[in-house]
Every structure is written in structure tokens, then in C-alpha cells.
């Protein structure tokens, strides 16, 4: 199955990182190029500019919520904490 391309400028959250070098689990990142891999503008290891990439299965990432995007735009790359997740759940109705 072909993976869906992540468009440049998209905000993504890595749900699980099985890599031994990156460890981007729970990080909110912004995509720098159109690609099926995550290729962030900046990363936890390279906050100023990144040339890193992460080959990720579709079930291991999701698009960021509006709140996560706003926080990224304010502070840059960040790890989503349990506090952030509780706020996210409290702001949405769960059916």
C-alpha cells in the first residue's frame, strides 16, 4: 500500500518512533517538503534547521490539532505532554 504524502507546511505529531537515533515520539513537527517521510523544518536534535527525516508508517503519526499548531507557531518544536493531552480531551466532545 502506498503511503499518503505529507505536504510541506503540514504540522504532524509523531505517535511512536521506533528509530534508535531520533526518538521523536510525542513531538509536534512541521513538514519542510512534500514527502511520504516526515522531514521536519526543525527537530528536537536540530532546533534551528534540520536535514533529518523519519520513515514512518501511517499509523505512527497524525496531523496536529489547531491548539498544537498554535503552540508550535509560538515556541517551535515541542513534546506533547500528558497535560497537553488532557487539555485536548477536555476541549473536544468525545462520542
In the chain, which ranges are continuous DSSP H helix?
Answer: 66-75, 82-90
Evaluate if residue 8 carries a pLDDT over 90: yes
Residue with the larger pLDDT of the pair 87 and 74: 74
**The residue count for the chain:** 95
Q: What's the pLDDT at 2?
A: 56
| Predicted local confidence at residue 54, as pLDDT | 75
| 13-72 residue pLDDT tens | 999 888 777 788 899 999 999 999 888 988 777 767 667 777 777 788 999 999 999 999
Q: What is the pLDDT of residue 93?
A: 41
Supply the pTM of this predicted model.
Answer: 0.78
Amino acid at each position: 500500500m502506498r503511503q499518503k504524502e505529507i505536504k510541506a507546511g503540514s504540522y504532524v505529531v509523531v505517535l511512536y518512533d521506533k528509530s534508535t537515533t531520533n526518538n521523536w515520539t510525542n513531538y509536534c513537527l512541521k513538514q519542510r517538503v512534500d514527502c511520504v517521510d516526515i522531514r521536519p523544518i526543525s527537530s528536537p536534535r536540530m532546533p534551528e534547521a534540520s536535514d533529518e527525516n523519519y520513515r514512518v508508517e501511517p499509523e505512527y503519526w497524525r496531523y496536529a490539532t489547531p491548539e498544537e499548531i498554535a503552540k508550535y507557531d509560538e515556541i517551535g518544536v515541542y513534546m506533547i505532554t500528558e497535560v497537553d493531552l488532557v487539555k485536548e480531551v477536555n476541549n473536544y466532545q468525545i462520542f
